[in-house]
A = this chain, B = another copy of it.
Amino acid sequence: MKLNALNFSGGPGALPESVLEQTRDAIIALPDTGMSVLGMSHRSDWFRAVLDEAEQNLRHLLGVSDDYAVTFLQGGSSLQFAMIPMNFAARAVAPPEYVSTGYWSAKATTEAAKVTERNIIWDGGATGYRSLPDLQALGVAPSAAYLHYVSNETVEGLQFPDCKQGAIAAPLIADMSSDFLSKPICTAAYSMIYAHAQKNLGPAGVTVALIERALLDRIPNGLPAILDFRTHVQHSSNYNTPPVFAIYVLMLVTRWLRDDIGGLHAMQTINERKAQRLYDTLDALGDAVTVHAQPRWRSRMNVAFTFGDSRLDRAFIRVAREQGLTGLEGHRSIGGLRASLYNAVGEAAVERLAAVLTEFSLQRA
């Protein structure tokens, strides 16, 4: 494999070069402390400032009001699949509603059932997870504990449009792991938003959760402290030793988005161009390729497609790797190919992928 491979992996994904350079230097000695970032105490003033800046950058980028707590957790989305019903279902009048639109939301739905009664209000499994419902048209009851959905299905490459404030009667909880910070969102439409870092935010090992403070009143007493969201809010994400390094890198990424990119509108413009370039290339190949998602629901972050034949897909992965493009294997659950276009994947990388795709297709035609 060559140096400077272009990384189209579904996650952990690419990170901005300037962030990698600062991180490299911090491994030996942080400029402001003279100590390795890996040996910094989570109780130090330095780390307090890192946590504060990460939180402030997120509030600034997403327009998060003081009605929400910003927390940094461990365990990935998979732990959230258990914690959310443990915290927010027990004291509700009616069970939570789940929308099952792909591999990850189906997993959230399965895990919730181990903790609580829950309703599946829409299920795209029978039709192969190629389309999404209109959330507003689902008629969620106001008494439901919450409505849970996944905003971007990483495996199948499906993406919901942003929700409108007040569109859903019950508290709205979204797993935004694979499109968080890729575009502006109407934060006020949600009661909770969570996202693990390893797509657009930083290295694997930290998960951001924005939680409406009013929702914390619904948490039953008696949960283990580490599984009770109030613990993390009350201790400003420093209850037990947090993943200091991962949060440091996440802070650098949010600073990059704020200062170098210029915010989420600018990021969205770039991401739209990248996705458009790739979908245009695939559409131009006609019957030679099939995009998994129906056109209306195509994700701007994860493009799942296939040459319709696993031998051809494998051949493409081989050719791409020779050209320095990696991470193009589809998820093991559906096979095929997937190009993930997270924030740190540059437009030049997408141009390169488009060229390799077109050339590969012409040679096989």
Contacts and interface: CB of A to CB of B under 8 A. Distances in A.
A13 B41 CA distance: 8
Contact of A224 (B1, B38, B115, B222): B115
A205 B37 CA distance: 13
Contacts of A249: 38
A317 to B, nearest CB: 13
A215 to B, nearest CB: 20
A12 B34 contact: no
Interface residues of A, number: 67
A2 B2 CA distance: 39
A148 to B, nearest CB: 14
A204 interface: yes
Contacts of A202: 38
Interface string A246-276: 1001000000000000000000000000000
Interface in A90-128: 111, 114-115
B20 A28 contact: yes
Nearest to A228: B114
Interface of A: 1-5, 7, 9-15, 20-21, 23-25, 27-29, 33-36, 38-43, 74-79, 81-82, 111, 114-115, 196, 198, 202-206, 222-227, 239-246, 249, 326-327, 332
15 contacts: A1-B33, A2-B34, A4-B29, A12-B40, A12-B42, A21-B28, A24-B27, A74-B205, A76-B240, A82-B225, A198-B241, A204-B241, A204-B242, A205-B245, A205-B246
